[in-house]
Chain A
Amino acid sequence: MNGAINDAPALALEDITCRFAAREGGAAYTAVSHATLTVRAGEFVSVVGPTGCGKSTLLNVAAGLLGPSSGTIKVFGEPLRASAGVNERAGYMFQADALMPWRTGLDNVIAGLEFRGMSRAKAMAQGEDWLRRVGLAGFGDRYPHQMSGGMRKRLALAQTLILSPDILLMDEPFSALDVQTRQLMENELLALWAADRKSVLFITHDLEEAIALSDRVVVLSAGPGTRPIGDFKIDLPRPRDVSEIRMAPAFVALHKEIWGAMKEEVLKAYQRQKAA
């Protein structure tokens, strides 16, 4: 990391607007409008918002997969242009399965290292190590379709973290899991994050998950034209156990406060969906 810009935020989205061209004749759809969001180095920020509000769009912009219509993105102080390639300091964990079905577990984990030109033997050693860290030791020779949903998520986590990205972008990574597996995965994520304190931008529609994991929770307005409407600091003590912390009075108070801000937007989104 460069010393001179060390205090620059890991990720700064400034005044981002995303318009999508409409299909045949309709008006352009503004998914995100004038959104500003920062993630400091080592900070765990969750973004919550009603369904279909453009959370993933915002994350894709941060990843450099999608160029915004206007606005700038800065990564550790340096501007990012989607035309010049993706955000190289970020790892992205997708909502949907993104593992290569034709590669075994181990080959999936080391894919990023291979793309970077690391020798196979060295990559394999690191891959085995990461399989162990996500609790998949001995499953390296299985194909993704032979694994359960939870195992595939761990594999995806190892695939992303093996490259040791400075910023971790997560798009509802655990939404497809059952509640028990989900809490296990959340705890594992917290443990891995505590080990080297990456900056995390975590997208979810689940407020409880957001509060349990984060340092800060940002609430988005209902789409179209999404922008942040609330920013809440979560000062619950760490280390946390996500299944226990839900019972803590401070947690309940925070939940009440943030839900108060969110409720109106959720209802708005619901009405809009019903009307459509």
Chain B
Amino acid sequence: MRLRVLQFAVLAVLILLWHLFTAPGLLPNFYFEQDNRAAFFFGEPVKVFWVMVDWFTSFEIFQHLGVTLLETVLGFVIGAAAGLGIGLWLALADTASAVMEPYIKGLNSMPRVVLAPIFAVWFGLGIWSKVALGVTLVFFVVFFNVYQGVREVSPVLLANARMLGASRSQLLRSIYLPSAMSWVFASLHNAVGLAFVGAVVGEYLGSSQGVGYLILQAEGTFDINTVFAGIVVLTAFALVLDAVVGAIERRLMTWQPKAGETETSSLGAGEARGRFSRKWATSVRNESYNSRLSCSVSRRRSLWRRLSPPSFRRMLPNGWKGRWAVDW
């Protein structure tokens, strides 16, 4: 509770400063020559607030938010499904993954936002060009995680399932998929965020609806307050999406040990890594993929050591050997 109060205090101070420095005539000018210049360039929090009130009371915003949400969800679902499918395929087919390696690397290194104009030409200015951009962004995040997740399935777990009589498709369903899913969920927050980026950037480059379109229109008339209002609405909306993903994750991943619960086995160290660790983990994973398509666990581990701040490492259980510790 105390924490929440402090968190809101930071926000309040920032808004207050914003107001003090931009309100015309409130403070003597020290940079701009005219009173209203600061407000022109940086907007005014009070006016931003009234723009938002106007949007929500006139229901105008809901149509645009709905469009942006639809694009986000479609981009996320299609991108995640493709990433899951192709990730599973390449992780299980050695030849195919060796052949595809340079192309995957190349596509991942490409700044994919530059594809937006091409998508606009191919799919028009409707929602599908935005969905396509979201898909290209989401795909790689999910793909790398599924790939790594399947590659790092414990060999003991596989051998055990085989001895219990699992066929190939049953191995896929009951070992590979659940194992990969724990990695996918670790990246889901990133993936949803990227789908959102795809939608908004796509709208910003050319559209007739959506929050990105509102921002684009306001910018055309130098209406900086409306631009800021759009940014605030987008940010709040992204936080809501993130919370939804968190709730889904908690529901589906009940089998993972939670922080504070005694960790008797060495797996599922994910929770213990703390609240900012997801990004670290993801960057480490991508790095290891780029270094070599066939994963090298030890390399990933050493990268993790190099990249993770000591405070996170201290939170790991003793003898942590990667996500799935294996003694074969």
Chain B positions 227-247 with a Cβ under 8 Å from a chain A Cβ: none
Interface contact B166-A115, CB-CB below 8 Å: yes
Q: Could you tell me the distance between the alpha carbons of A52 and B268 in the complex, rounded to whole angstroms? A: 29
Q: Could you tell me the distance between the alpha carbons of A91 and B167 in the complex, rounded to whole angstroms? A: 16
A63, A96, A100, A144: which contacts B163 (Cβ < 8 A)?
A63
CB of B297 to closest CB in A, whole Å: 15
Interface contact A111-B264, CB-CB below 8 Å: no
A103, A115, A147: which contacts B165 (Cβ < 8 A)?
A115
Q: Check if A230 is an interface residue, CB within 8 A of chain B.
A: no
Interface contact B164-A101, CB-CB below 8 Å: no
Could you tell me how many residues of chain A have their Cβ less than 8 Å away from some Cβ of chain B?
A: 37
Q: Check if B296 is an interface residue, CB within 8 A of chain A.
A: no
Check A115/B265 contact, CB under 8 A, given A94-B159, A145-B255.
no
Q: Check if A250 is an interface residue, CB within 8 A of chain B.
A: no
Q: Check if A143 is an interface residue, CB within 8 A of chain B.
A: yes
CB of B265 to closest CB in A, whole Å: 5
CB of A141 to closest CB in B, whole Å: 11
Q: Check if A76 is an interface residue, CB within 8 A of chain B.
A: no
Interface contact B165-A88, CB-CB below 8 Å: yes
B156, B170, B257: which contacts A97 (Cβ < 8 A)?
B156
Q: Could you tell me the distance between the alpha carbons of A115 and B156 in the complex, rounded to whole angstroms? A: 17
Q: Mark B148-165, 1 if CB is under 8 A from A, else 0.
A: 000000101101111111
Chain A positions 56-98 with a Cβ under 8 Å from a chain B Cβ: 56, 60, 63, 65, 86-88, 90-92, 94-98
Q: Check if B175 is an interface residue, CB within 8 A of chain A.
A: yes
CB of A151 to closest CB in B, whole Å: 9
Q: Check if B178 is an interface residue, CB within 8 A of chain A.
A: yes
Interface contact B167-A115, CB-CB below 8 Å: yes
A contact residues around B33 at 8 Å (CB): none
A101, A103, A159: which contacts B265 (Cβ < 8 A)?
A101
CB of B258 to closest CB in A, whole Å: 10
Given contacts A94-B159, A145-B263, 17 further A-B contacts (CB under 8 A): A63-B163, A94-B156, A94-B160, A96-B327, A101-B265, A102-B255, A103-B255, A114-B174, A115-B164, A115-B166, A116-B165, A144-B265, A145-B256, A146-B264, A147-B264, A152-B264, A160-B164
